[in-house]
């Protein structure tokens, strides 16, 4: 599991967020528009229902979690990959990139979903240009394996490209560089073909989901995805256990605060009180918080 952030959860952003959670990652989303942000869980739940109906998901839930934040700095804190999906506007993207670069971790990769804007221009005011590039998931994301990479020829480092490629390939994605100037947009027929191929793949591999959930290699399956080596897996498992207990906001303290009235336990008491003070909502369900109670673990 990797910690990722999606900034801007409009039509494309919410699909990317859902898809990354489907892939087992901890997804932290933010949008300036509160109404858009509050709709995220409803849209993702609806996506889950449709994916299940279409045979694209074998579990009832995604393996990863989606947390919603009003503040950009809360969403990008300690995220390894940050996907910017705000509207296709150069000034908006430049500002978001600058803001992200000022509060993200020192090794975070920042990707823009821009279709046609120049990556060099988007990252103009950013210090960490070597860790920036364009990464375009093709709509509707969940079952489309192709992902376009648009590095800056001047700035994006090879290491950045390699990290992105590995991250995508582990999720069963195919990363490629755009050829020519035109972005690829799939038509209905192409989408249907990919959906059918994806269902077939799930059937043959006994579920794409399974390879993230399993700790024991599935020896019975033909063509099953190669299990990760043991060392890497156990580290992954350990970090998963640690993360399940740590506050989703400060990522420092234990989760020891129950938010009222939704009763979600995902933050520490300090962050719970902070959310309450700034009239913010629950990172899981986006319900208004009326109170924050300390809980004591035995």
Contacts of 95 (CB under 8 A, 6+ apart): none
With respect to Zn ion, which residue has the nearer C-beta, 250 or 276?
Answer: 250
Give kind and range of the element (H or E) at residue 211: helix 210-213
With respect to Zn ion, which residue has the nearer C-beta, 56 or 249?
Answer: 249
| Omega prior to 97 cis, within 30 of 0 | no
Q: Does residue 269 bind Zn ion (CB under 5 A)?
A: no
CB 173 within 8 A of CB 201: no
Six token digits for residue 31: 């949008």
Find the binder of Zn ion among 43, 103, 276, 285 (CB under 5 A): 285
Q: Interface mask (CB under 5 A) for Zn ion, residues 200-239, using x and -? A: ----------------------------------------
Q: Does residue 276 bind Zn ion (CB under 5 A)?
A: no
Number of residues in the chain: 298
Find the binder of Zn ion among 262, 265, 273, 288 (CB under 5 A): 262
> Which residues face 75 on adjacent strands?
none
> Which residues face 254 on adjacent strands?
246
Q: Does residue 82 bind Zn ion (CB under 5 A)?
A: no
* Sheet with 146-151, edge to edge strand ranges: 66-69, 26-30, 3-7, 81-84, 109-112, 132-137, 146-151, 174-177
Find the binder of Zn ion among 41, 255, 264, 280 (CB under 5 A): 264
Q: What is the CA radius of gyration of the chain?
A: 19
Q: Does residue 274 bind Zn ion (CB under 5 A)?
A: no
Total residues contacting Zn ion by CB under 5 A comes to 11
What is the CA angle 188-192-198, rounded to 5? 145
With respect to Zn ion, which residue has the nearer C-beta, 202 or 257?
Answer: 257
Residue 34 Cβ vs Zn ion, minimum distance, rounded to whole Å: 15
With respect to Zn ion, which residue has the nearer C-beta, 111 or 257?
Answer: 257
Residue ranges that bind Zn ion, judged by CB under 5 A: 247, 249-250, 253, 262, 264, 268, 271, 282, 284-285
């Amino acid at each position: 599991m990797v910690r990722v952030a999606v900034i801007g959860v409009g039509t494309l952003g919410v699909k990317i967020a859902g898809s990354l959670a489907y892939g087992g990652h901890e997804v932290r989303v933010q949008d300036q528009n509160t109404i858009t942000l509050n709709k995220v869980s409803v849209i993702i739940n609806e996506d889950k229902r449709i994916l299940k109906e279409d045979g694209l998901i074998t579990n009832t839930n995604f393996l990863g979690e989606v947390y919603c934040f009003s503040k950009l700095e809360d969403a990008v804190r300690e995220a390894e990959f940050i996907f910017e999906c705000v509207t296709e506007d150069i000034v908006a993207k430049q500002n978001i990139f600058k803001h992200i670069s000022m509060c993200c971790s020192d090794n975070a990769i920042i990707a823009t979903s821009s279709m046609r804007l120049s990556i060099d221009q988007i990252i103009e005011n950013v210090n960490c240009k070597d860790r920036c590039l364009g990464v375009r998931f093709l709509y509707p994301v969940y079952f489309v394996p192709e992902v376009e990479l648009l590095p800056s020829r001047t700035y994006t480092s090879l290491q950045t490209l390699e990290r992105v490629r590995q991250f995508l390939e582990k999720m069963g994605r195919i990363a490629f560089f755009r050829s020519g100037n035109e972005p690829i947009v799939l038509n209905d027929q192409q989408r249907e073909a990919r959906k059918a191929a994806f269902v077939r793949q799930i059937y043959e591999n006994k579920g794409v989901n399974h390879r993230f959930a399993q700790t024991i290699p599935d020896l019975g399956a033909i063509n099953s995805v190669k299990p990760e080596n043991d060392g890497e897996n156990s580290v992954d498992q350990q970090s998963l256990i640690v993360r399940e207990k740590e506050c989703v906001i400060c990522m420092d303290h234990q989760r020891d605060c129950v938010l009222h009235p939704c009763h979600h336990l995902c933050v520490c008491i300090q962050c719970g009180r902070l959310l309450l003070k700034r009239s913010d909502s629950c990172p899981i369900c986006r319900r208004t918080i009326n109170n924050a109670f300390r809980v004591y673990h035995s």
